[in-house]
A and B are shown apart, each in its own frame.
Chain A
Amino acid sequence: MTAGELRFRYTARYTDILVPLGRRLEDYLKGVVGDQPRIDRISVRAKGIDRFLAKAAKEADGAPKYSDPLDQIQDQIGARIVTFYLSDVARLGATIEKYFGSVEVQNVVPDSPREFGYEGRHYILFIPDDVKDPATNAEDCPTFFELQIKTLFQHAWGEADHDLIYKPSGVLTPDQRRRVAFTAAQAWGADRMFEELAQELTPSSQIH
């Protein structure tokens, strides 16, 4: 499939299937965890066309990473739950696992304990049939969506990092990299402090 054909097919999928599917999935997710305490936001979005095409064009070991990106890329629908404290991430994760079938669960942390950077709990989950449009050809509808559960600080750091760091402008200087790591360390520390305070100040019945 040429890049032009892929763009044409994903654009059609994005408009006709993914955007409405994302809206229904957001309502469904809110129905599952919307009444849980300390949730800042629940959002679902379809992967943008340019970002999908950029991912589809990635290479691994000098060869295309995806032979069939429309079937292989699993985060064409991305969902995010932002909550307050680290213990809330675990609690919400446990609830999600009761309602959705999963094929991947990952606590994303930096590779080395000497590093600070992106953190979050990621899932690859089956899209429930309840939100699929029966009129849509099953082959055109993705099987999975990605769900990220993060604290407010993890979310804030991730957003700023994505906005500032993932630019085509070039490689960061050592000082810039050090400052990025510093902000990640501060977000990590803030999460630890708020978690400890929540454990000390919130009655246990309200934590879980």
Chain B
Amino acid sequence: MKPEKILSYLVPAGKGQEEPEKVTGTEVPHAGSLFSMLASVFDHSDVECKVPIRFITDGTQHNPVRDEIRELLKHPTLAKGRHLAERLRDVSTGKSGLGLFFLMVGHEGAQHKIVLSRFPTDEGILAEQNESSLQIEFVERIFMKSAKSYKAATYSGKSIDAGFWDGLAVDRQISAAQDQVAHYWIREFLISDFKTTSKAGSKRLAVAFKDASKAVASIQEKEEILAAISITKNFYGKTVSIRGLSDRLNLSVSARKAIEDQVPNAALLDDTFVLDSEEFQHHAAYASVELDQGAMLTAPADKFEECFSREAVDGKAEHYRFTTEGRIMDERLKGRR
């Protein structure tokens, strides 16, 4: 589907400035290479934007950005779109720099759809070749979609008044850095948050790890998943998704599949949230290893590898020697349940 209206604005950084620069805008004509490129962005936004987000409110079903978006869907004019462009300017710092901001409005079937997209500025070299020579020229303002800080958000829905509460975003900087990066685009500009709260996402992840460790049959896979639970502590407070974390932990195909099988909905694998240490540890609190001679070794899941060192016993398949040391705090006799 092609957008029915594309509005474009040059957005300078204006955060904290008493008299920020003016935002200038123009409508993109429905023809030519630029329109084709932006139509492709509009068409593929559902694939490219993978992070579910939701508008946050003051408790009274009101969000000023959602209001602007709904207004723009009803009346897609340069003047209406300028409100959003000025809002983006007012949260953009010098670090964000100059940006080219596009608002693309259209339909997909019976659904209204809008895509907000910010192309960052860069420097480059223009090379033009004719029959006998090559001309090169330095260009100060190039706006590139492929740059690492490209950002977009898309919203769609049948009812403009009742819908448009949640959408999808892409922020190429999220994977590179911390939650702070999402702050600019998702929290400050869109007045939104990840659709999944930190607690809910962390619980989902911990339960998937825990259930996967029970579901796999081989000792190696159990060991790999328990090791993954332990290493996950390095991501506390950071923005993660289950699929992204599996990538970063370099999990084997079988361990990854075992974890993904525990998630009720495949779309949740890319769902992004901030990993909460307390919640994760609450649901994946202890790791335990049971040996065939009756011994059971238990330690906090995120410290198991620190508490016990494990070495293979020569000549005996799947036999391990565990060693540990420490001061005895308690000794108990436990009955069978």
Contact = CB atoms under 8 A, between A and B. Distances in A.
Nearest to A106: B59
Interface string B39-62: 000000000000010111101110
Contacts of A104: 57, 59-61
B199 A99 contact: yes
B267 A134 contact: yes
Contacts of B264: 130-131
B159 interface: yes
Given A104-B59, A104-B60, A130-B204, A71 B197 contact: no
A129 interface: yes
B161 interface: yes
Contacts of B271: 129
Interface in A92-125: 98-106, 124
B210 interface: no
Interface residues of B, number: 31
B161 A103 contact: no
B165 A143 contact: yes
Interface string B45-85: 00000001011110111000000000000000000000000
Contacts of B162: 68, 71-72
Given A99-B199, A99-B200, A100-B197, A105 B265 contact: no
Contacts of B161: 67-68, 72
A130 B57 contact: no
A132 interface: yes
A134 B265 contact: yes
B61 A124 contact: yes
A129 B165 contact: no
Interface residues of A, number: 26
B202 to A, nearest CB: 10
B159 A71 contact: yes
B268 A143 contact: no
Looking at A126, A130, A143, A144, the one whose CB has the most chain B CB atoms below 10 A away is A130
21 contacts: A32-B200, A32-B203, A68-B159, A71-B159, A72-B162, A98-B199, A99-B199, A100-B197, A101-B54, A101-B193, A101-B195, A103-B165, A126-B54, A126-B165, A128-B200, A129-B196, A129-B265, A129-B267, A134-B266, A134-B267, A143-B165
Interface of B: 52, 54-57, 59-61, 111, 158-159, 161-163, 165-166, 193, 195-200, 203-204, 264-268, 271
Given A67-B161, A132-B265, 7 more contacts: A68-B158, A98-B199, A99-B200, A126-B165, A128-B200, A130-B268, A143-B166
Interface of A: 31-32, 67-68, 71-72, 98-106, 124, 126, 128-132, 134, 139, 143-144
